[in-house]
Structure 1
Amino acid sequence: MGAMKQSIDTSSTSAPDDEEDSFGAPPIPAGSKNYMTPQGHLRMKNELLHLIDVERPEVVQTVSWAASNGDRSENGDYIYGKRRLRQIDSRIRFLTKRLDLAEVVDPSVHHGSDQVFFGATVRYANQDGEEQTVTILGIDEFDPLNGKISWISPVARALTKAREGDTVMLRTPGGLEELEILEVSYPPPA
């Protein structure tokens, strides 16, 4: 799921609608909220505030200084600074949109439950007996190399609402695959 989009658009002009793709995050399904954990929400909010309060003012200051040096066409500090400013502004817009759509869900409310919901850490085995552990998180929190999958991923959708001991079917390019849910856990309440 995380390897869906390997290429990155390096052109300097990108439409605002392409912002989500430019940061490697999948789009939020139409009509859905942007579910995320309190930790994911805090991380995104802190990044947004850092960009607004620290990075952007520093780059604006550098660009202003570079512009005062004269010939802007061959001024590396000015050219790089303007490019970096566009990147920061684009990221600020992206984060603002994602946070506006955020629906913060605390997975600890399900602590002790054996049913799979958002925020669950699930250990399962495929039909060959190979075990895997995944945590179902928000679109902006997924990190498949570390076992964090998005709630919109096929694996998460197959597991959701099932219980420990259940067998679910996962549709893959190679056909249907059986997954047996071995363990479901949630973080304890704070």
Structure 2
Amino acid sequence: MSRAFVNEDNAAAQADQPVERQVSAQPNYVTPTGLAQLQARVADLQALRSQQAARGDLADKQRIADLERDLRYFKQRLQSAQIVAPTSSDQVRIGHWVTFVDEQDHEQRVQLVGEDQADAASGLINWGSPLGRALLGAKVGDEVIWKRPVGDLAIEVVTIDLQ
């Protein structure tokens, strides 16, 4: 098509629209802490959007579009949240802290959490990740296979704790 027939105003407006955030297909299981974090995130985004809107003509329209996109995403995550309160169990469940050792006796402690709460640097592991799936349902003394991109690793569950 010739550029003479392109509506440049519409093309520019479409280029400025943020790409929607992808919503995971896995169930949105959250711990009570994860639910509180989602609620706080929605409240923060609403406050930021209100601040931008209050600026009137001086508002950053791209920033508002980004905030509205994120707000749609987190509201949807909040609506689909299924709270899983950790309970005492002899099997690893969402919300449990798990200590495991690998083949070289390196010990690691992680908590299985929902996808939005996950933070590997803090030991918070998405239950749907390869490590989370390997640990889910395991008992103390069980050896499970952690299917990693760099190769499978046998790990043994040492402890399961609520806190």
TM-score, reference length from structure 2: 0.83
Indicate yes or no: 2:18 matched with 1:14: yes
Instruction: Report how far residue 35 of structure 1 moved.
Output: 0.5
Taking the aligned partners of 1:92 and 1:160, their CA distance within structure 2 comes to 31
Paired residue for 1:33, among 20, 27, 43?
Answer: 27
Partner of 1:116, secondary structure, is: coil
Count of residues in correspondence between the two structures: 149
Partner of 1:115, secondary structure, is: coil
Work out whether residues 17 and 62 of structure 2, in 8 Å CA contact, stay in contact via their aligned partners in 1. Answer: no
Long gaps (5+) in structure 1 = 1-10, 21-26, 68-76
Work out whether residues 167 and 179 of structure 1, in 8 Å CA contact, stay in contact via their aligned partners in 2. Answer: yes
**Aligned-partner residue type, residue 57 of structure 1:** S
Partner of 1:182, secondary structure, is: strand
Task: Give the 4+ runs in structure 1 shifted more than 4 A.
Answer: none
Work out whether residues 169 and 177 of structure 1, in 8 Å CA contact, stay in contact via their aligned partners in 2. Answer: yes
Paired residue for 1:153, among 109, 124, 129?
Answer: 129
Taking the aligned partners of 1:55 and 1:14, their CA distance within structure 2 comes to 17
Q: Residue 78 of structure 2 aligns with which residue?
A: 99
TM-score, reference length from structure 1: 0.72
Long gaps (5+) in structure 2 = 1-14
Q: Residue 133 of structure 1 aligns with which residue?
A: 109
Taking the aligned partners of 1:176 and 1:15, their CA distance within structure 2 comes to 35
Instruction: Report how far residue 174 of structure 1 moved.
Output: 4.0
**Aligned-partner residue type, residue 125 of structure 1:** V
Instruction: Report how far residue 146 of structure 1 moved.
Output: 0.8
